[in-house]
């Protein structure tokens, strides 16, 4: 029962931290509509690149949180089962 409560605590902590990271601010780049219509693929690629660059640290932190959660949930600390 104590192990189950521990797993539940890991999950709650993980979800609360992840919720903060998921609060992304998406900025839509403005441009000349005629240029966007001429090459929507370029506009889309620039948009995605801009968003990934702006939020890269949040993506990295979310990945780290997921890894830490999985290891704690499996009872692994510092690469060793504990």
| pLDDT tens column, 51-78 | 999 889 999 999 999 898 888 878 765 5
Name the domain count of the chain: 1
pTM of the model: 0.62
Tell me how long the chain is: 82
Q: Tell me the two tokens of residue 43.
A: 């506009």
**Domain around 16:** 2-81
Which phi-psi region, left, alpha or beta, contains residue 2 (left: φ > 0; alpha: ψ -120 to 50)?
alpha
pLDDT band for position 9 (50/70/90)? confident
Contact 21, 55 (CB under 8 A): no
């Amino acid at each position: 029962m104590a192990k189950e409560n521990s797993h539940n605590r890991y999950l709650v902590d993980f979800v609360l931290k992840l919720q903060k990271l998921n609060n992304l601010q998406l900025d839509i780049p403005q441009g000349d509509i005629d240029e966007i219509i001429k090459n929507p693929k370029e506009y889309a690629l620039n948009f995605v690149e801009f968003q990934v660059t702006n939020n890269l640290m949040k993506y990295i932190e979310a990945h780290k949180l997921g890894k830490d959660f999985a290891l704690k949930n499996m009872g692994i600390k510092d690469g060793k089962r504990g």
